[in-house]
C-alpha cells in the first residue's frame, strides 16, 4: 500500500522562470491596451477589442503575480 505523494501541479523549480515570462507577456499586452486607448479617437473605439485585450492582460498579470509570490517564498 504505497501511498501516492501529492506534489504541486507545476514543478516548484519552474516558478521563477514562469513568473518572469507571464509577467512580461502580461505587461506587453497591458501596453498594447493603453496604446490602443490613447491612439484611437472616441468614434472608432471598439469596446469588444478593449475588453478582450484587458481580459487577456489581466489573466497573464494575475498568474504572473501568483508565480512571483510563490517564487519569493510566500506560499499562498
Partner 1 sequence: MAARIGIFAVVVAVFLSIPAFSSAQDLQIVNAERRIDLSSHIVKAFLTLKVENIGKSAAAEMLLAFSPTQIKNLAMVQALAITGKKKKKTYLPLDVKPTEQPDAPNDTGYYRVTFVSPLGPGETVSLEVLYILTHSLEPFPVEITQSESQLVYYHDSAVILSPYHVKQQTTFVKTPSTRVESFTSIEPANRAGKEIKYGPYENRASYSYAPVIIHFENNSPFAVVEELVREIEISHWGSLQITENYRLTHGGARHKGVFSRVDYQSKRSVSGASSFNALLAVLPPRVNSVYYRDDIGNISTSHLRTGFRKSELEFEPRYPLFGGWRATFIIGYRVPLEDYLFEASDGRRYLNFTFGCPLVETIVNKLTIKVVLPEGSKDPSAILPFTVNQDLQVKYSYLDIVGRTVVVLQKDNVVPTHNVPFQVYYTFKPIYMLAEPFMLVSAFFFVFVASLAYVHIDLNIARK
Q: Would you tell me which residues interact with partner 1 (CB under 8 A)? A: 1, 3-9, 12, 33-34, 37, 45, 47, 50-51, 54-55, 57-59, 61-63, 65-66, 69-70, 73-76
Q: Which of 12, 16, 34, 27 is nearest to 62 (CA)?
A: 27
Whose Cβ is closer to partner 1: residue 25's or residue 50's?
50
Whose Cβ is closer to partner 1: residue 44's or residue 75's?
75
Q: How far is CA 31 from CA 39, 55, 62, 73, in A?
A: 12, 13, 16, 29
Whose Cβ is closer to partner 1: residue 5's or residue 44's?
5
Determine contact, residues 19/67, Cβ cutoff 8 Å: yes
Provide the minimum distance between the beta carbon of 54 and partner 1 in the complex, in angstroms, as a whole number: 3
Residue count (the chain):
76
Amino acid at each position: 500500500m504505497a501511498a501516492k505523494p501529492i506534489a504541486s501541479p507545476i514543478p516548484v523549480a519552474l516558478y521563477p522562470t514562469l513568473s518572469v515570462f507571464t509577467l512580461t507577456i502580461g505587461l506587453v499586452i497591458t501596453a498594447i491596451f493603453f496604446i490602443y486607448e490613447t491612439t484611437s479617437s472616441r468614434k472608432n473605439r471598439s469596446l469588444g477589442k478593449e475588453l478582450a485585450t484587458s481580459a487577456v492582460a489581466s489573466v497573464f498579470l494575475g498568474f504572473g503575480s501568483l508565480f512571483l509570490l510563490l517564487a519569493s517564498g510566500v506560499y499562498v
